[in-house]
């Protein structure tokens, strides 16, 4: 599997259940969200604009995704918290290696700024994304455990030592469950033994 196939497999509507561990406070917080992922081709204007924003030749991108989400977390204060957003991802693989490269984003996971992360697909076809921000860094891993079940882990380390670790279980639902690439074989990694 290459990175574009991984993103194609992620297309659809998802319900996500999330546990975030706030390591500095030794407490956990639960949340849920709805996520919609759409596959974008390399010639999509949003992919081209995103490449240009990051001063990268759009011809190097193989496509990407548009992602929208709406969520809630247990510690939200009514009327003060907003877990709604959208972003576009553009995949720019390394020359000669479609399983590793750069992932361009309009907004990052840990900071809401345009950012470029490094990705690679590991030996179990899990997508690992490492991103360095101005004040923090994050490592995320996404993998499938079946056609309509995706897992996600993330760790965020802030300069100063405060960190969070999250685990998400995401289930595809609704009318948009058809995969855009039916020829891709999904491996089922043994991580966590699920």
143 lies in a domain?
Answer: yes
pLDDT at 85: 79
Q: Does residue 185 sit within a domain?
A: no
pTM: 0.80
Residue 186 inside a domain? The answer is: no
Residue 17 lies in a domain: yes
Report whether 139 contacts 154 (CB < 8 A). Answer: yes
Please give the DSSP secondary-structure letter assigned to residue 123.
T
CA–CA distance from 79 to each of 72, 76, 192 (Å)?
11, 9, 37
CATH number at residue 123: 2.40.128.20
Q: Give domain status of residue 188, yes or no.
A: no
Averaged pLDDT, groups of 10, the chain, 194 residues long: 94 93 84 92 97 96 93 58 78 96 81 86 97 89 96 89 89 60 29 26
Report pLDDT for 31. Answer: 86
Sorted by sequence, the CB contacts under 8 Å of residue 106 that are 6+ apart come out as 50, 53, 87, 88, 114
The domain tally of the chain equals 1
Q: Give the number of other CB atoms < 10 A from CB of residue 141.
A: 18
Q: In 2-11, which positions are buried (b, 16+ CB within 10 angstroms) versus exposed (e)?
A: bbbbbbbbbb
Tell me what pLDDT residue 158 has: 86
pLDDT at 74: 57
Is 81 within the bounds of a domain? yes
Give the domain range for residue 60: 3-174
Does residue 18 belong to any structural domain of this protein?
yes
**pLDDT given at position 176:** 46
In a domain? residue 183: no
């Amino acid at each position: 599997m290459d990175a574009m196939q991984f993103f194609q497999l992620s297309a659809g509507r998802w319900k996500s259940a999330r546990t975030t561990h706030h390591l500095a406070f030794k407490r956990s917080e639960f949340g849920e969200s709805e996520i919609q992922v759409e596959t974008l081709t390399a010639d999509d204007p949003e992919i081209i604009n995103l490449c240009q924003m990051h001063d990268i030749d759009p011809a190097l991108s193989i496509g990407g995704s548009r992602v929208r989400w709406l969520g809630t977390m247990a510690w939200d204060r009514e009327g003060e918290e907003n877990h709604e957003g959208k972003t576009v991802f553009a995949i720019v693989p390394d020359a000669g290696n479609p399983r590793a490269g750069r992932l361009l984003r309009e907004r990052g996971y840990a900071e809401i700024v345009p950012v470029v992360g490094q990705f690679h697909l590991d030996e179990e076809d899990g997508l690992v994304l490492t991103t360095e921000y101005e004040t923090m860094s994050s490592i995320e891993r996404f993998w499938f455990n079946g056609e309509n079940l995706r897992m996600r882990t993330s760790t965020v380390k802030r300069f100063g030592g405060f960190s969070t670790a999250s685990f998400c279980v995401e289930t595809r639902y609704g009318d948009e469950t058809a995969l855009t690439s039916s020829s891709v074989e999904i491996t089922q990694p043994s991580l966590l033994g699920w």
